[in-house]
Amino acid sequence: MELHREPPEAILNAIKFDLMTSTDMEKLSSMSIIEVSDVTSPKLGLPNGSLQCETCGSQRGRDCDGHFGVTKLAATVHNPYFIDDVVHFLNRICPGCLSPREGIDTKRLEREKVQATCKYCSKDGSKLYPSIVFKTLSSPRVLLFKSKLHRNASVMERISIVAEAADRMPNRSKGKGSLEGLPLDFWDFVPSENKQVQSNMTKIILSPYQVFYMLKKSDPELIKQFVSRRELLFLSCLPVTPNCHRVVEIGYGLPDGRLTFDDRTKAYKRMVDVSRRIDDYRQHPHFSVLASSLVSSRVSECLKSSKLYSKKADGETSTDTYGMKWLKDVVLSKRSDNVFRSIMVGDPKIKLWEIGIPEDLSSSLVVSEHVSSYNFQSTNLKCNLHLLAKQELFIRRNGKLMFLRKADQLEIGDIAYRPLQDGDIILINRPPSVHQHSLIALSAKILPIHSVVSINPLCCTPFAGDFDGDCLHGYIPQSIRSRVELEELVSLHNQLLNMQDGRNLVSLTHDSLAAAHLLTSTDVFLKKSELQQLQMLCLSVSTPAPAVIKSMNFQGSLWTGKQLFSMLLPSGMNFSCDTELHIMDSEVLTCSLGSSWLQNNTSGLFSVMFKQYGCKALDFLSSAQEVLCEFLTMRGLSVSLSDLYMFSDHYSRRKLAEGVKLALYEAEEAFRVKKILLDPINIPVLKCHDETEDVTYRQSDCIQSNPSVIRSSIMAFKDVFRDLLKMVQQHVSNDNSMMVMINAGSKGSMLKYAQQTACIGLQLPASKFPFRIPSQLSCISWNGQKSLNYEAESTSERVGGQNLYAVIKNSFIEGLNPLECLLHAISGRANFFSENADVPGTLTRKLMYHLRDIHVAYDGTVRSSYGQQIVQFSYDSVDDLVDKLGAPVGCRAACSISEAAYGALEHPVNGLEDSPLMNLQEVFKCHKATNSGDHIGLLFLSRHLKKYRYGLEYASLEVKNHLERVNFSDLVETIMIIYDGHDKIRNEGMWTTHFHINKAMMKKKRLGLRFVVDELAKEYDTTRDQLNNAIPSIRISRRKCLVGDEGVKSSSCCIAVVAHAERNSISQLDTIKTRVIPSILDTLLKGC
């Protein structure tokens, strides 16, 4: 009995491509498309609304390549790809006798000689019968809309052929469109259809039937000189591509099987609809021309929406699919046997290193497994289970693909293509990849869920995602090498710490962070039943002694939340980050009120745990996630309007409103005072100001619109506004759910909470408000300001109106008036990152392109891989250099900057505050006309240096030594000025300056003492000439120094400088200190 069946084998010698005629389309199609619904029929293959293909019976997409159908056109039309060839042929023959004109090869044409009686080509007839020119007509696209014909003038199509008489001047007196003396039988070569052709018409539109009639009477051998196959010139049918070629997105997991098709499906449906409704126009006098035009428009629409077109025509919408867009939407976006894309949801029950895969999705993902003696039993068992459900299994044996139908038929050496199962490695990515940890290898866990994949919420941080519809891309490795590479390089166990900032890759966040903050507070006590319920999820099985033996309020013992949190830590762990937090031997003794030690930072609890315990810390963190989520479920944490009102009684709310009003008044007063102090017009008034007098301060128009002054005033406003935030925080009760999340650092901020409860505060637009804002933000003030003439406003009114900022005193809980709502909407756009969302992506793409090959070489230098150019002579790192060799530091640098750019999107972008994103963009922006003195150049060394051992390296070091900038101040250790006037020559001064130079530094810089002395003398003389002898002349010499410590004498050499004599020795000493010594120290000895 045959246990497996091998696919047939054959040798492929050649492939021939040809075009199908209408007969071929009808013969090879799987079905005839008659109704609109037939365009997506299950007979056209998978995917479709049903579970299988009705043509071949396949239930899987990889077993069905698809089947195409055919739709019968309502009218025969020109083939758009050959209409130019038809026109070219008609212009090369005589329309009357159909004989070739001059320039046609007639040697192999078996035709009788043309009689001289042809009225179109004879010499006598040419006087009465002008020549005829055939052209393609570009006409507007014809549309059928609501039982009426419409022409879309924005889209021009070449769908018709026109015959036009030429070689005669038109008779203006007889009107347009006629030729003087045109014979009555001029258009007799055109067969008439519904309406007789008038003889005085200079131009007629030929229907496809009339063109076919002329070609049918022509010599076939003559037509072959222009078109290889005459039956390709007209179309009576149109093929409809299979479903798999038109499906853009699969409604995965949906019970009704909804599918999303591309634009070609819509075009096919419009084509079928026209074929059904065209019969209503058969009584039209020009039905033949209109029908062919309408059908030709639909055919052109179907062909242009195919993948053959790489760009759209004028007037087409941007949603049409063309070229590479078709590949991305229809081909690359689909799932294959090894790749999937799905929306992610959170599941705290899943381990950190796992990803939950739906059962139906796992059955369509294939893993290739090499069968060996090591895994034969396990692989055979997996394959047998698969055969029970699917009845067949693909394997590859001895390089041949075959499929098994019975169990226990695997052999060692086979490659089995089995479905995805628990424990298989999957490479997960969420675009955009802004850092190196965006790729993580997770272990598959098959779950009885539908439509979505599940991950632990703590893994959202490396993916930079959340659960609002973000998609994950999964890739199934198919070889042993790729699986080993993923496990060793990008598995979560091998990238615990972020290589960019040293923080741990996963940590407590959102719900778990808020639960940990609540659990470690001083007022949390657990009963025995509650402790046992949570202890089931802990790794520690030992129960600590109760903190409270007896209590007046509870019967039984009580345990604190700190004791439960201590059970989540590994044994023997010690941790302390401040004076208020102490953890000794895994027991939380005291902890601070803040939650910074629980958050993800380099000095946090879990960062220290990852550094001390490595991969084992993942188990403790995963267990802590389950315990904390269970604790939060038991305790409950709900946000309601009572968290925003803060007080239940009216009196307390009124007192808070008065405090907020007073704080806003102080902030506005600080803002106004700052502008007054910075206004130059008020400086004389401030100097002679007496506190007992009332002084009226004025503000100039330049100060009102000066951004720097406004920016400083805004900082003064914010300083006072911070006090308002502290006041609001003091009024909030401890059981406020929103403040719990804010204090824990899991969600929200104090500023946003104050805007909800107290006041919105300062509003800054992206540039300027488009109108002047009144002092009081109300509709009455707004209407009053509009009614006044701007030129007639007083000075005080001018001060009140401005357009750079606005202060909204109401809160969201109280409600905003229309003007406040408008101002907040305008300034709120500055907080939206949509307008600058392309900046981080563009920055990432360009940086990664230029830095992708930068790495640490064997000698510690930073080089490029392709040209081995030295980018940096030494890589600065506090770690051991051996661990950094070969590291892709260029990619890491690009990812670090990109991650900072994406993080900067959260900060507002306006004209009065510095935006980190805009500053970062400005730093990396290349200016062609820059005035900066720092320039970078590339020096390419000679290739002849390669024949020497380490020739390029030594040469690069020589170039570095030569170009490195060395000032005289880099060599000097000490400077001493000594008075020795008793043995001086008459023309020299009494003060000698000693410069003690470090010998080791001179050796490192490869400088000699004579060279230094000569360079100092030369550069000093040059400087003295430039200053017109404003500094004294000096004599520089090297000598053995007799002053100073012995240790200094042994490690340094001395250069003495003596200035020329002056009458006043004290003034000469001052000149040496202030002018001579600084000039000598700034001397450039080497480099540029």
Identity at 664, one-letter amino acid code = L
Rounded CA-CA distance 284/295 in Å is 16
Residue 446's pLDDT band (cuts 50, 70, 90): very high
The answer to whether residue 973 sits within a structural domain is: yes
Strand 806-808 relative to strand 761-763, pairing: antiparallel
Residue 244 structure tokens: 């798999």
> 């039988």: which residue's tokens?
185
- Cβ 400 vs Cβ 6: under 8 Å: yes
Residue 158's pLDDT band (cuts 50, 70, 90): low
Identity at 540, one-letter amino acid code = S
pLDDT of res. 80: 82
Q: Is the pLDDT of residue 440 over 70?
A: yes
Q: Is the pLDDT of residue 251 over 80?
A: no
Q: Where are the beta strands (DSSP E) in 650-732?
A: none
Say how far residue 1080 (Cα) sits from the centre of its chain: 54
The answer to whether residue 974 sits within a structural domain is: yes
pLDDT of res. 114: 46
668 and 562 in a common domain: no
Helix (H, G, I), strand (E, B) or coil at 316: coil
Rounded CA-CA distance 899/505 in Å is 14
The answer to whether residue 293 sits within a structural domain is: yes
CATH number at residue 621: 1.10.274.100
Predicted TM-score (pTM) of the model is 0.61
Say how far residue 298 (Cα) sits from the centre of its chain: 38
Q: Is the pLDDT of residue 135 over 60?
A: yes
Residue 706's pLDDT band (cuts 50, 70, 90): low
User: Phi and psi for 655 in degrees, rounded to 5?
Assistant: -65, -40
User: Phi and psi for 779 in degrees, rounded to 5?
Assistant: -65, -30
Lowest-confidence range among 155-159, 411-415, 427-431, 950-954?
155-159
pLDDT of res. 836: 66
Sheet (strand 148-165) strand order? 132-145, 148-165, 203-206
pLDDT of res. 52: 83
718 and 822 in a common domain: yes
Task: State the average pLDDT over residues 426-437.
Answer: 82
Rounded CA-CA distance 955/942 in Å is 9
Structure confidence by residue, pLDDT tens digits, 530-571: 998 998 888 877 888 888 888 777 778 899 999 999 999 998
Lowest-confidence range among 427-431, 505-509, 885-889?
885-889
Rounded CA-CA distance 256/251 in Å is 9
Residue 477 burial (CB < 10 Å; 0-12/13-18/19+)?
buried
Instruction: Select from 907, 906, 912 the least CA-distant residue to 714.
Output: 912
Residue 173's pLDDT band (cuts 50, 70, 90): very low
Helices (H), 925-1008: 951-963, 999-1004
Residue 380's H or E segment, with its range, is: helix 376-390
Residue 206 burial (CB < 10 Å; 0-12/13-18/19+)?
buried
Structure confidence by residue, pLDDT tens digits, 652-662: 778 888 888 88
CATH number at residue 647: 1.10.132
983 and 971 in a common domain: yes
Rounded CA-CA distance 238/744 in Å is 65
Rounded CA-CA distance 325/331 in Å is 10
349 or 321, which is more confident: 349
- Domain hosting 996: range is 964-1086
The answer to whether residue 653 sits within a structural domain is: yes
pLDDT of res. 800: 41
54-58, 834-838, 946-950, range with greatest mean pLDDT:
54-58
Residue 172's pLDDT band (cuts 50, 70, 90): very low
Identity at 223, one-letter amino acid code = I
Strand 69-78 relative to strand 32-33, pairing: parallel
Task: State the average pLDDT over residues 7-11.
Answer: 74
Rounded CA-CA distance 74/51 in Å is 33
Rounded CA-CA distance 36/269 in Å is 5
542 and 669 in a common domain: no
1063 and 988 in a common domain: yes
162 and 45 in a common domain: no
**Domain count of the chain?**
6
Residue 303 burial (CB < 10 Å; 0-12/13-18/19+)?
middle
> 């000075």: which residue's tokens?
795
Residue 688 structure tokens: 């002679």
2 or 475, which is more confident: 475
Structure confidence by residue, pLDDT tens digits, 179-225: 455 677 777 777 776 555 555 677 788 888 888 888 888 888 888 88
CATH number at residue 971: 3.30.1360.140
Domain boundary among 172, 192, 226: 226
Identity at 1049, one-letter amino acid code = K
734 and 669 in a common domain: yes
The answer to whether residue 353 sits within a structural domain is: no
120 and 208 in a common domain: yes
The answer to whether residue 453 sits within a structural domain is: no
Task: State the average pLDDT over residues 1025-1032.
Answer: 82
User: Phi and psi for 57 in degrees, rounded to 5?
Assistant: 80, 5
Rounded CA-CA distance 868/943 in Å is 12
The answer to whether residue 679 sits within a structural domain is: yes
* Half-sphere exposure at residue 757, Cβ-oriented, CA atoms within 13 angstroms: 28
Strand 452-455 relative to strand 339-346, pairing: parallel
- Mean residue pLDDT of the chain comes to 77
Rounded CA-CA distance 961/842 in Å is 37
